[in-house]
């Protein structure tokens, strides 16, 4: 059990080679008080089915904006976001999203919040109930089904939000800094859980985060963004098969490399290279 | 603890009451004191009874009014008038307010003129309504309905317009239809404001009932009795009518507050 | 610009319909006088000077009553907000009295102080007193505990605590109370003038009703709306100045 929890080996044979999601020369300009602010410039990458891609960058580099474009909340941009070759024009149930604020509706219980995502599924009521129960069990909250969001801790609320994003069995799970508002311990625990859940569901995932450790721990590939305007600094393949140990030397080396790209100097490594 | 070293110089300075009893006792103190002074003043012939009849006289008047049965009829007349007006005005205001809160176009078209209308003092409409609907029951109910309309509309409007943008975004992410958005997001989100609006509509309807009975044609009703008391210089009758008006008003707002608490259980947990 | 146009669309439409109705005689003039008649009534009262003197009298009554009620309300509300004992003593009596619909006091006040100026000022003062007390007391009670703790950490005495922390933190709620008090004062003024008066805007409305001159009534409704808007706007201006620290104060 601990083995699967701690390690999420990226098994390349599970990842299809045809891109399912393509980001093609995407740019976005915001109009802020009459001034043009370029948020994204010339972003191109693709995500293959079954892959876990993380987008990291400092705040303000446009990574959340990019996720909104993939979700289809914003269609006013340059370039193209394509899903199976077709341009994304609006949100659909094949993309589930987890926001940073859990965004549970406070007047619905946990199970009703998850069930809200099934309104458009066209499934019979009994089937919906079954799916909701199953998802809550997957995130370990079956005994809190009838609780109001105000009664849940931040971590629990975020797990309900994950259940809501997954209940439609979406092909893509979009994660917008889902653990950013949680305390450090809860965050580590939920990272393990997220790895387990995504693996269990076999979903393709796109994670936006500013936590480099989180990205290295979860992703198969990391898109590093730099700000003003947001553009790709580099794309890093995570080749840590079977050893996603947060304190393993390879893990730390990769993390430091990415932090370096982001302009955060690592004193320890400087000393090491000097020696 | 260091309590021992801090023994007050005069330890029995103040009688301490059990914490639950204290507010009740203190709360009763002032009214009882006032009533006592009032009764004593009357007994000592400090005020003429026709200006301020003693509490015992007021109580006797209340009893005789109840035995005569007219007072019950008056209260019923006032209550049914208030509810009729409320039942017309409040739902209409709710629908209007929701329309303004949910449709940008409706808000731009109708919002400004509604705000302008709100600036006119309520009672200024009395003469107009009495011309249009007559001074009888129709005119009274029309005025009460008009009064209940505005607070209900304003609050529903504010509540529906204040649904946070992230929730609207969630609706889009879950691809909810208009009806589902209304049912799952907009209405529950606006509910606290809607209930506040309905509560204040109820209180306003009660105020308008008094206004209608004072300003329009004479008819059975509590405020009518108030006017009768003034005409006949019967202060005891006026005090009885005022007290009943206050108690019924209090009952309204308590009832509305209780309903409000029940309907938004998801908060404050 | 287009916002203004949309805002004026419905009023313009209604005005057009009203003119048409008057021209076609859909409703008798006693029920709905023509817009021109209303305008004439307005300019006539303005030309004769009645409009200005009566508006001034109404404003003076509101001013006196509101000033009296607001000052008393600030004092009483502050007292029951700051002292738990005073609150427990006076809250029940106050709440019960506040439940009496405002207008219901008018007949009793007439018996007590007569039908003249004193009656109007008393009723208006009470009408403004109630919401001010509620706003002040609530505002003081809702001052966040961490802020009070900060005061204790800075070893403020009672006066500093009230003047530096409690009062400024309660200002938004106090202003809500003041604004409601002013609105109440305005409503009550019209009612009191309608009930018994020989001057003032409410009197002109009552006069128009007695003479079956709906044009005068409608003209005065218009004036009441404009004056109400101006008074409200003035208070909002003061409020915005005092609440500059609230970033979101719209």
C-alpha to C-alpha distance for B79 and C150, rounded to whole angstroms: 50
- pLDDT recorded at residue A266: 64
| 3-state class (DSSP) for residue A87 | strand
| DSSP at B6 | G
In this prediction, what percent of chain A has a pLDDT beyond 70?
89
Q: In this predicted structure, which of A109-113, B260-264, C70-74 has the lowest mean pLDDT?
A: B260-264
Query: Is the predicted pLDDT of residue A6 greater than 60, yes or no?
Result: no
For residues A222-250, average pLDDT: 86
Nearest by CB to residue B184, choosing from A73, A97, A116, is A116
Nearest by CB to residue B207, choosing from C3, C14, C102, is C102
Please state, rounded to an integer, the average pLDDT across all residues of chain B.
86
| Cα of C47 to nearest chain B Cα, Å | 22
Query: Which of A116, A148, A162 would you mutate first to test chain B, the one with the most B CBs within 10 A?
Result: A116
Q: In this predicted structure, which of A240-244, B49-53, B132-136, C99-103 has the lowest mean pLDDT?
A: A240-244
For the stretch B88-105, pLDDT in tens is 999 999 999 999 999 889
Query: Is the predicted pLDDT of residue A128 greater than 90, yes or no?
Result: yes
Query: Is the predicted pLDDT of residue A17 greater than 70, yes or no?
Result: no
- pLDDT recorded at residue B8: 41
C104 to B22: CB separation less than 8 angstroms, yes or no? no
- pLDDT recorded at residue B139: 94
- pLDDT recorded at residue A19: 77
Domains in chain B with CATH codes? 67-268 (1.10.3720.10)
C-alpha to C-alpha distance for C159 and C82, rounded to whole angstroms: 12
- pLDDT recorded at residue C249: 41
- pLDDT recorded at residue A14: 52
Query: Is the predicted pLDDT of residue A268 greater than 60, yes or no?
Result: no
Strand partners, A95: A172
Whole-Å CA distances, A128 to A111, A121, A124, A134, A164: 10, 9, 6, 10, 12
* 3-class secondary structure per residue, A190-257: HHHHHHHHHHHHCCEEEEEECCHHHHHHHCCEEEEEECCCEEEEEEEECCCCCCCCCCCHHHHHHHHH
Q: Which two tokens stand for residue B63?
A: 């009893």
Q: Which two tokens stand for residue A173?
A: 């799970």
- pLDDT recorded at residue B16: 57
C-alpha to C-alpha distance for A39 and B126, rounded to whole angstroms: 58
- pLDDT recorded at residue A205: 94
Q: In this predicted structure, which of A111-125, B16-30, B130-144 has the lowest mean pLDDT?
A: B16-30
For residues B55-67, average pLDDT: 89
Pairing type for strands A231-237 and A78-83 reads unpaired
Nearest by CB to residue A150, choosing from B173, B174, B269, is B269
| Cα of B163 to nearest chain C Cα, Å | 16
| Cα of A108 to nearest chain B Cα, Å | 8
> Within an 8 Å CB–CB cutoff, is residue B235 touching chain C?
yes
- pLDDT recorded at residue A212: 93
| Cα of C169 to nearest chain B Cα, Å | 23
Q: At A8, is the pLDDT very low, low, confident or very high (cuts 50, 70, 90)? A: very low
Radius of gyration of chain A (CA): 19
For the stretch A88-102, pLDDT in tens is 988 988 899 999 888
Contact B141, B216 (CB under 8 A): no
- Looking at mean pLDDT, say which of A58-72, A131-145, B55-69, C84-98 comes out highest: A131-145
Q: Which residues in C lie closer than 8 A to residue B34 (C-beta atoms)?
A: 93
> Within an 8 Å CB–CB cutoff, is residue B29 touching chain C?
yes
Chain B adjacent subunits, 3+ CB pairs under 8 A: A, C
Query: Which of B124, B228, B257 would you mutate first to test chain C, the one with the most C CBs within 10 A?
Result: B124
Q: Which two tokens stand for residue B26?
A: 């203190």
> Within an 8 Å CB–CB cutoff, is residue B265 touching chain A?
yes
> Within an 8 Å CB–CB cutoff, is residue B80 touching chain C?
no
Q: Which residues in C lie closer than 8 A to residue B100 (C-beta atoms)?
A: none
| 3-state class (DSSP) for residue A55 | strand
Instruction: pLDDT tens for chain C, 250 residues: list them.
Output: 577 888 888 889 999 999 998 888 888 877 888 899 999 999 999 999 888 999 999 999 999 999 999 999 999 999 999 988 898 889 888 988 888 888 889 888 888 888 888 999 999 999 999 999 999 999 998 888 888 888 888 878 888 888 888 988 898 889 889 988 998 898 899 889 988 888 888 888 888 888 888 888 889 888 988 888 888 888 888 878 777 766 544 3
Q: At A5, is the pLDDT very low, low, confident or very high (cuts 50, 70, 90)? A: very low
Query: Which of C90, C99, C110 would you mutate first to test chain B, the one with the most B CBs within 10 A?
Result: C99
B266 to A107: CB separation less than 8 angstroms, yes or no? yes
For the stretch B152-198, pLDDT in tens is 999 999 999 988 889 999 999 999 988 999 999 999 999 989 998 99
Count of CA atoms in the C-beta half-sphere (13 A) of A54: 25
Q: Which two tokens stand for residue B22?
A: 């204290």
Query: Is the predicted pLDDT of residue B12 greater than 50, yes or no?
Result: no
Q: At A18, is the pLDDT very low, low, confident or very high (cuts 50, 70, 90)? A: low
For the stretch A188-232, pLDDT in tens is 999 999 999 888 888 999 999 999 999 999 999 999 998 888 899
- pLDDT recorded at residue B210: 92
Query: Is the predicted pLDDT of residue A11 greater than 50, yes or no?
Result: no
Contacts of B125 (CB under 8 A, 6+ apart): B143, B146, C221
Predicted-complex ipTM score: 0.84
For the stretch A250-266, pLDDT in tens is 888 899 999 988 888 76
B175 to A91: CB separation less than 8 angstroms, yes or no? yes
């Amino acid at each position: 059990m601990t083995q699967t929890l701690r390690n999420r080996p990226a098994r390349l044979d599970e990842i299809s080679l045809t891109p399912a999601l393509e980001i093609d020369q995407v740019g976005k300009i915001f109009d802020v008080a009459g001034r043009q602010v370029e948020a994204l410039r010339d972003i191109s990458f693709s995500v293959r089915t079954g892959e876990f891609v993380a987008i990291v960058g400092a705040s303000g580099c446009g990574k959340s904006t990019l996720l909104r474009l993939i979700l289809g909340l914003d269609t006013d941009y340059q370039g193209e976001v394509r899903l199976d070759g077709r341009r994304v024009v609006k949100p659909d149930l094949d993309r589930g999203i987890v926001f940073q604020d859990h965004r549970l509706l406070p007047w619905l219980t946990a199970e009703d919040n998850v069930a809200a995502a099934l309104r458009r599924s066209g499934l019979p009521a009994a089937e919906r109930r079954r799916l909701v129960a199953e998802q809550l069990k997957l995130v370990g909250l079956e005994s809190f089904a009838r609780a109001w969001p105000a009664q849940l801790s931040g971590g629990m609320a975020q797990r309900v939000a994950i259940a809501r994003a997954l209940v439609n069995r979406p092909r893509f799970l979009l994660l917008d800094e889902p653990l950013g508002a949680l305390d450090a311990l809860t965050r580590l625990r939920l990272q393990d859980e997220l790895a387990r859940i995504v693996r269990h569901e076999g979903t393709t995932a796109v994670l936006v985060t500013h936590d480099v450790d989180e990205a290295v721990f979860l992703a198969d590939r990391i898109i590093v963004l730099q700000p003003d305007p947001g553009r790709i600094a580099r794309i890093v393949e995570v080749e840590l098969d079977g050893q996603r140990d947060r304190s393993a030397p390879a893990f730390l080396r990769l993390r430091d490399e990415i932090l370096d790209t982001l302009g955060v100097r690592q004193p320890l490594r400087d000393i090491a290279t000097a020696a | 603890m260091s309590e021992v070293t801090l023994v007050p110089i005069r330890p029995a300075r103040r009688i301490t009451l059990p914490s639950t009893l204290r507010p009740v006792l203190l709360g009763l103190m002032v009214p009882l004191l006032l009533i006592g002074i009032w009764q004593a003043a009357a007994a000592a012939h400090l005020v003429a009874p026709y200006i301020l009849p003693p509490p015992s006289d007021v109580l006797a008047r209340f009893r005789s009014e109840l035995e005569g049965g007219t007072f019950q009829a008056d209260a019923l007349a006032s209550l049914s008038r208030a509810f009729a007006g409320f039942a017309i005005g409040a739902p209409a205001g709710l629908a209007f307010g929701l329309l303004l809160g949910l449709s940008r176009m409706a808000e731009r078209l109708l919002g400004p003129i509604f705000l302008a209308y709100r600036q006119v003092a309520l009672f200024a409409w009395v003469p107009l309504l009495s011309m249009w609907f007559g001074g009888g029951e129709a005119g009274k109910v029309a005025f009460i309905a008009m009064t209940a309309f505005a607070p209900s509309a304003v609050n529903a409007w504010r509540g529906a317009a204040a649904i946070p943008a992230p929730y609207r975004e969630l609706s889009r992410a879950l691809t909810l239809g208009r009806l589902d958005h209304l049912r799952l997001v907009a209405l529950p989100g606006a509910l606290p404001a809607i209930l506040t609006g309905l509560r204040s509509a109820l209180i306003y309807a009660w105020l308008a009932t008094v206004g209608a009975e004072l300003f329009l044609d004479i008819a059975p009703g509590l405020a009518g009795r108030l006017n009768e008391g003034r005409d006949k210089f019967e202060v005891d009758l006026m005090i009885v009518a005022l007290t009943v008006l206050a108690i019924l008003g209090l009952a309204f707002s308590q009832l509305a507050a209780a309903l409000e608490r029940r309907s938004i259980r998801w908060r404050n947990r | 610009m287009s916002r203004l146009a949309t805002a004026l669309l419905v009023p313009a439409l209604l005005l057009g319909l009203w003119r048409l109705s008057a021209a076609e005689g859909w409703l008798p003039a006693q029920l709905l006088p023509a817009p021109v008649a209303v305008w004439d009534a307005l300019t006539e009262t303005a030309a004769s000077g009645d409009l200005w003197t009566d508006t001034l009298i109404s404003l003076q009554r509101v001013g006196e009553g509101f000033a009296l009620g607001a000052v008393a309300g600030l004092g009483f509300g502050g007292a029951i907000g700051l002292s738990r004992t005073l609150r427990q003593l006076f809250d029940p009596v106050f709440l019960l009295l506040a439940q009496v619909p405002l207008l219901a006091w008018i007949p009793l006040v007439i018996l007590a102080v007569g039908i003249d100026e004193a009656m109007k000022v008393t009723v208006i003062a009470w009408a403004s007193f109630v919401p001010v007390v509620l706003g002040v007391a609530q505002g003081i009670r809702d001052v966040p505990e961490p802020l009070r703790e900060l005061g204790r950490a800075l070893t403020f005495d009672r006066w500093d605590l009230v003047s530096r922390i409690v009062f400024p933190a309660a200002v938004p709620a106090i202003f809500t109370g003041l604004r409601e008090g002013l609105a109440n004062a305005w409503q009550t003024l019209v009612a009191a003038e309608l009930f018994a008066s020989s001057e003032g805007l409410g009197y002109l409305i009552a006069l128009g009703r007695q003479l079956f001159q709906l044009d005068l009534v409608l003209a005065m409704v218009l004036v009441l709306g404009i004056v109400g808007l101006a008074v409200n706007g003035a208070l909002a201006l003061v409020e915005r100045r005092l609440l500059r620290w609230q970033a979101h104060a719209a």
